[in-house]
């Protein structure tokens, strides 16, 4: 077989469904995954390490990188830039790592445009009732926050059909394993095995 190249795995999903825990679990259990490291222009906090929590940079450099198309996706938030540097992702993919990105629905579809082979996963709660429960009562939050979260979930639900897979997070262990199986399967598609197929076709033609 040809050398294994990594796959981009985009993880989106409703608020409170455990996306982050799932991704951490996956990287802890299997060594073919890496979490994408975002770049930001905000200052490092106590204990944060450049290249681990974030790549820290200046506004000037961030804007230069935007103009060069160096981000897979980026956004402004609270006066700072945040973005996913293409160079880091591409280096990880080339080294054979499957790169996990947690992005919301609009960003996910942008990633797909740049990387048509990306696998898009949407994480949800095990039932509609439980999802609504989780969105409604997270303890201390105001009616405004809850209304915002519901509005966002309604919007997100309209995009589920554009995802490749729906991950029902009923049990962390089982869901982690299913996620791994989905990504393992994605490596077996013809588009991930172009080199091998080309070699087989040539060998048959030469006989």
Contact set with a second copy (CB under 8 A): 1, 122, 124, 126-129, 131-132, 135-136, 150, 153-154, 157-158, 160-161, 163-168, 178, 181-182, 184-186, 188-190, 193, 196-197, 199-205, 207
Query: CB-based contacts of 126: which residues, under 8 Å, 6+ apart?
Result: 168, 169, 170
Q: Please state at what angle helix 172-186 crosses helix 19-29, rounded to 10 degrees.
A: 70
Nearer Cβ to a second copy, position 52 or 162?
162
Nearer Cβ to a second copy, position 35 or 150?
150
Nearer Cβ to a second copy, position 10 or 153?
153
The burial of 202, by beta-carbon neighbours within 10 Å (0-12 exposed, 13-18 middle, 19 or more buried), is given as: exposed
Q: In this structure, are residues 160 and 203 in contact, taking their beta carbons and an 8 Å threshold?
A: no
Nearer Cβ to a second copy, position 51 or 126?
126
Nearer Cβ to a second copy, position 97 or 149?
149
Q: Is the dihedral of CA 1, 175, 84, 116 positive or negative?
A: positive
Q: Least separation, in Å, of the C-beta of 131 and a second copy? A: 6
Q: Least separation, in Å, of the C-beta of 154 and a second copy? A: 5
Q: Least separation, in Å, of the C-beta of 142 and a second copy? A: 16
Alpha helices in the chain, H assignment, sequence order:
19-29, 59-67, 86-94, 105-114, 128-136, 143-157, 172-186, 194-206
Q: Least separation, in Å, of the C-beta of 45 and a second copy? A: 35
100 beta partners: 9, 35
Q: Least separation, in Å, of the C-beta of 73 and a second copy? A: 22
CA distance 113 to 61: 25
């Amino acid at each position: 077989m040809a050398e294994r190249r990594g796959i981009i795995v985009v993880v989106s999903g409703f608020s409170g469904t455990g996306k982050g825990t799932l991704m951490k679990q996956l990287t802890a259990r299997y060594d073919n995954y890496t979490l994408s490291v975002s770049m930001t222009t905000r200052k490092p906090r106590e204990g944060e390490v450049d290249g681990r929590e974030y790549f820290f940079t200046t506004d000037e450099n961030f804007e230069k990188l935007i103009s060069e198309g160096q981000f897979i996706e980026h956004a402004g938030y609270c006066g700072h830039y945040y973005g996913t540097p293409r160079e880091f992702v591409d280096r990880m993919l080339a080294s054979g790592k499957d790169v996990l990105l947690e992005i919301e629905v609009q960003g996910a579809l942008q990633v797909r445009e740049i990387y048509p082979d990306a696998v898009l996963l949407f994480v949800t709660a095990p039932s509609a009732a439980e999802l609504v429960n989780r969105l409604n009562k997270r303890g201390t939050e105001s009616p405004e926050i809850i209304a915002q979260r519901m509005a966002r979930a309604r919007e997100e639900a309209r995009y589920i059909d554009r995802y490749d897979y729906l991950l029902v997070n009923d049990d962390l262990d089982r869901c982690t394993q299913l996620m791994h199986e989905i990504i393992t399967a994605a490596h077996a598609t013809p588009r991930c095995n172009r080199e091998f197929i080309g070699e087989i076709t040539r060998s048959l033609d030469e006989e």
